[in-house]
Chain A
Amino acid sequence: MKGPDVSWYLTLSAFLFAIGVLGVLLRRNPLIVLLSLEIMLNSANLALIGFARHLGDTSGQVFALAVMAVAASEVVVGLGLIVALNRNRIALDVDRLNTLRG
């Protein structure tokens, strides 16, 4: 046996993803919701890189890099929304952003 195998990394990634889900569902502050989204994306990255090491295939790491770029884009748009909310004096509370509710 040489160090933790991939199932340990996958279990850790599952717990991290659950923490992110809890943050998105429990918190009302859009900044914290964005931070929780980052945790979820990173847990997916951990699983991808764990499988890349397990299978000896670099493609998983390439996909993790693509996920990083997508996460950076998501942060740009999300923070742009928060700055626009702040400029229009709208409360930073996702429960009160219900204008588009059907």
Chain B
Amino acid sequence: MGDVLVWAVWVIAAIGCLGSGIAVISFSNPFFAALALIGNLASLAVLYLLLSAEFVTAAQVLVYAGAVMVMFLFVIAYVGSRADASFGGGPSWQAIAAVVAAGAIVVNIVIAIGVTTGGRLEDEADVGPSFGGPAEVGEVFLTNHLLAFEITSIVLLVAAVGGVILGSERTRKRP
């Protein structure tokens, strides 16, 4: 019974994920596209919960669906109606090549999963109840992956400085 429930939640979240993803790339109004991306991130958060990644789920909802998307919506509101753009553009062979490239990626990955792994991915590891909690993630992050943690802070600092420079009034001086 519990398996059926997990499958049902997975199917609903996967359909929400793919549907809102298609909605993101098909709306002509970027405001609605950003709202659809919030739905996409929420469905992904449900999938993360199914994978017992509780801390990443909380970070996803807080950082992504909260902070990043609010920034997106703020910029879309600031840019206003100039943000509207037509769907396609460029010669039609570009669109065909884009669809072929995307399809090739899917076929490539699905074949890699289906053929080369050949059922070896079925038995997953047993994990304790603390798996994915803040304590365990924080401990691994601050011991085994301390260098990644520090480099992440430097990346964030550089991005913050770059955002301030790009957004400052000095960029107006160009002709």
Interface size range on A against B: 35 or more
B130 to chain A, nearest CB (A): 10
| Interface secondary structure of A, over-half rule | helix
Chain B interface size range: 35 or more
Chain A positions 70 through 102: 1 when the CB is less than 8 Å from some CB of chain B, otherwise 0: 111111110111111011100111010000000
Instruction: Report the bound CA distance from A15 to B120 in whole Å.
Output: 21
A14–B48 CB distance below 8 A: no
Q: How far is the CB of B56 from chain A (nearest CB, A)?
A: 5
User: Quick check: A62 and B145 within 8 Å, CB to CB?
Assistant: yes
Q: Name the interface residues of A1-25: CB closer than 8 Å to any CB of B.
A: 1-23, 25
Give Cα A65–Cα B163 distance, bound, in whole angstroms. Answer: 21
The reply to whether B132 and A61 form a contact with Cβ atoms under 8 Å apart is: yes
What distance in Å separates the Cβ of B144 from its nearest Cβ neighbour in chain A?
7
B88 interface contact, C-beta 8 A? yes
B159, CB-defined interface residue at 8 Å: yes
Bound CA–CA A62/B59 (angstroms): 11
Verify A58–B106 contact, CB threshold 8 A.
Answer: no
Q: Given A5-B121, A22-B98, A61-B55, A88 and B172 touching (CB < 8 A)? A: yes
* B84 proximity list for chain A (CB < 8 A): 29
- A29 and B155 form a contact (CB under 8 A): no
- 27 sample A-B contacts, Cβ–Cβ < 8 Å, listed by A number: A7-B113, A11-B113, A14-B106, A21-B98, A23-B24, A25-B97, A28-B89, A31-B72, A31-B75, A32-B25, A32-B30, A35-B33, A42-B64, A53-B53, A58-B131, A59-B144, A62-B145, A62-B148, A68-B64, A75-B72, A77-B159, A79-B71, A79-B72, A80-B163, A83-B166, A84-B171, A91-B82
Closest 3 CB pairs of A and B: A56-B125, A80-B166, A73-B159
